[in-house]
Amino acid sequence: MSSILLRQFPRSTRAVTRIPRRWTSSISQRPGSDRVQFPGAVNSKFTTDMAFINPSQLPSIPTYRILDSNGVLVDKDRGPPDVPKEEIVTWYKNMLTALTDDDVVFAQYRETGVYQQRGFTLHDFMSQLFANCHDNGRGRNMPCHYGSKFPRTNPDLPSRIVACYFGEGAASEGDFHAGLNIAATRSSPVVFLCRNNGYAISTPTLEQYRGDGIASRGVGYGIDTIRVDGNDIFAVYEAMREARRVALSDGGKPVLVEAMSYRVSHHSTSDDSFAYRARVEVEDWKRRDNPIIRLRKWLENEGLWNEDLERDTREGLRKAVLKEFKDAERELKPAIGEAFTGVYEELTEEQQQQKKELRRILETYPDEYDLRQHQDGINGL
Report pLDDT for 199.
Answer: 83
Structure confidence at residue 116 (pLDDT): 85
Domain annotation for the chain: domains and CATH numbers? 56-328 (3.40.50.970), 336-380 (no CATH)
The pairing of strands 255-260 and 224-229 is: parallel
CB atoms within 10 A of CB 295: 22
pLDDT in tens, the chain (381 residues): 444 444 444 444 444 445 455 545 566 667 778 877 777 777 788 888 988 988 888 899 999 999 999 999 999 888 888 889 999 998 888 877 788 888 888 888 788 888 888 888 999 999 999 999 999 888 888 888 887 766 666 667 778 999 999 999 889 999 999 999 999 999 999 999 999 988 888 888 888 888 899 999 999 999 999 999 999 999 999 999 999 999 999 989 999 999 999 888 888 888 888 888 888 888 888 888 889 999 999 999 999 999 999 999 999 999 999 999 999 999 999 999 999 988 888 999 999 999 999 999 999 999 999 999 999 999 998
103, 160 in Cβ contact below 8 A? yes
* Rounded distance between C-alpha atoms, residue 379 and residue 381, angstroms: 5
Decide: 172 and 201 in contact? Cβ < 8 Å. no
Its pTM stands at 0.84
Other Cβ atoms closer than 10 A to 264:
17
Concatenating the DSSP letter of every residue in 304-366 gives S--HHHHHHHHHHHHHHHHHHHHHHHHSPBPPGGGGG-SSSSS--HHHHHHHHHHHHHHHH-T
- What interhelical angle do 291-301 and 233-247 show, nearest 10? 110
Label residues 109-148 b or e (16+ Cβ within 10 Å = b): ebbeebbbebebebebbbbbbbbbbbbebbbeeeeeebee
Rounded CA gap, 51 and 134, in Å? 62
Of 313, 255, 310, 264, nearest to 285 by C-alpha is 264
According to DSSP H, which parts of 99-232 are helical? 112-117, 122-130, 174-185, 215-220
The pLDDT, as a whole number, for residue 2 is 40
User: How many degrees, rounded to 5, is the angle at CA 144 between CA 138 and CA 148?
Assistant: 55
Q: What's the pLDDT score for residue 151? A: 62
Beta pairing, strands 199-200 & 104-106: unpaired
